[in-house]
Structure 1
Amino acid sequence: MYSKTQKMIQSKLKEAIFSGVIYQFIEADKQETQVLGYAATLPQKEKMTQQHLFDVASLTKVICTASVVLRLWEQGELEMDAPLQRYLPAFQNQQITLRHLLTHTSDIQTWIENRDQLSAEELRQAYLTLQPGDSLGKKVLYTDAGTILLGFMLEELYQMPATEIFQKEVLLPIGMTESQFPPVIHEQIVPTQRINGQIMKGETHDPKARVLGKHAGNAGLFTSLNDIHRFVKTYFDASYLKAETIDWLLQDQTPSGKDQRSLGWDLKERMLFHTGYTGTFLLMDPRKNQAFIFLSNRVHPTDEREEYIKHRDEIISKYFEEKY
Structure 2
Amino acid sequence: MAYQATKTALRRLVSAGVVPGVSYALIDGDRVETGQFGQAALVPTVEPLTAGMTYDLASLTKVVGTLSVTLQLLATGRLRLTDPITTWLPAFGDSRVTIQHLLTHTSGITGYIPNRNQLNAAELTRALLGLHVGPTFNVKMVYADVNYIFMGWIIEAILGEPVQVAVQKRVLDPLGMTHSTFTPADSHACVPTAITPSRGLVRGVVHDPKGYVLQRRCGSAGLFSTVDDLVRFCQAYCRPERVAAVLPPTWLHRLVADWTPNGRAGRSLGWALTATQWPTPHRVLWHSGFTGTYLVIDPQTAQAMVFLTNRVHPVAPNLPYLDQRNAVIGTYLAEKATI
Query: Under a length normalisation based on structure 1, what TM-score does the superposition of the two structures give?
Result: 0.96
- Residue 164 of structure 1 deviates from its aligned partner by 1.1
> Which of 307, 324, 336 is 1:311 aligned to?
324
Deviations 1:242-287 (A, max 9, x none): 3221111111111111111000111111111000000000000112
- Residue 206 of structure 1 deviates from its aligned partner by 0.7
- Residue 241 of structure 1 deviates from its aligned partner by 1.8
Give the structure 2 partner of residue 25 of structure 1. 26
- Residue 220 of structure 1 deviates from its aligned partner by 0.5
CA contact (8 A) 1:59 1:281 kept: yes
Give the structure 2 partner of residue 264 of structure 1. 270
Deviations 1:132-170 (A, max 9, x none): 112211111000010000111111112222221111111
Give the structure 2 partner of residue 192 of structure 1. 193
Deviations 1:146-200 (A, max 9, x none): 0000111111112222221111111111111111113643541100001128211
> Which of 246, 250, 256 is 2:256 aligned to?
250
- Residue 63 of structure 1 deviates from its aligned partner by 0.6
- Residue 323 of structure 1 deviates from its aligned partner by 3.0
Give the structure 1 partner of residue 130 of structure 2. 129
Distance 2:333 2:238 in 1: 20
More off after superposition, 73-82 vs 197-206? 197-206
Where 2:74 maps in the other structure, the secondary structure is helix
Deviations 1:69-98 (A, max 9, x none): 111000011010111111333332111111
Give the structure 1 partner of residue 173 of structure 2. 172
CA contact (8 A) 1:284 1:291 kept: yes
Distance 2:205 2:111 in 1: 24
CA contact (8 A) 2:187 2:203 kept: no
CA contact (8 A) 1:110 1:145 kept: no
CA contact (8 A) 1:182 1:213 kept: no
CA contact (8 A) 2:29 2:235 kept: no
Deviations 1:216-236 (A, max 9, x none): 110000111111111112112
- Residue 304 of structure 1 deviates from its aligned partner by 3.9
Task: State the AA in 2 paired with 1:179.
Answer: S
Deviations 1:274-305 (A, max 9, x none): 00000000000112110011001111111143
Give the structure 2 partner of residue 278 of structure 1. 291
Q: How does 1:33-48 map to 2 (within 5 A)?
A: 33-48=34-49
CA contact (8 A) 1:109 1:133 kept: yes
CA pair 134-304 structure 1, distance change in 2 beyond 3 A: closer
The alignment of Structure 1 onto Structure 2 pairs a total of residues equal to 324
Distance 2:44 2:9 in 1: 28
Where 1:173 maps in the other structure, the secondary structure is coil
Distance 2:217 2:286 in 1: 25
Distance 1:28 1:208 in 2: 36
Distance 1:115 1:187 in 2: 29
Task: State the AA in 2 paired with 1:252.
Answer: D
Give the structure 2 partner of residue 95 of structure 1. 96
Distance 1:90 1:229 in 2: 39
Q: How does 1:75-86 map to 2 (within 5 A)?
A: 75-86=76-87
Give the structure 2 partner of residue 301 of structure 1. 314
Distance 1:268 1:113 in 2: 36
CA pair 24-288 structure 1, distance change in 2 beyond 3 A: same
CA contact (8 A) 1:102 1:147 kept: yes
Query: Under a length normalisation based on structure 2, what TM-score does the superposition of the two structures give?
Result: 0.92
Task: State the AA in 1 paired with 2:168.
Answer: Q
CA contact (8 A) 1:59 1:274 kept: yes
More off after superposition, 299-308 vs 220-229? 299-308
CA contact (8 A) 2:40 2:192 kept: yes
Unaligned runs of 5+ in 2: 276-282
Give the structure 1 partner of residue 278 of structure 2. none
Give the structure 1 partner of residue 153 of structure 2. 152
Distance 1:186 1:297 in 2: 15
CA contact (8 A) 2:206 2:222 kept: yes
Distance 1:304 1:212 in 2: 22
Give the structure 1 partner of residue 280 of structure 2. none
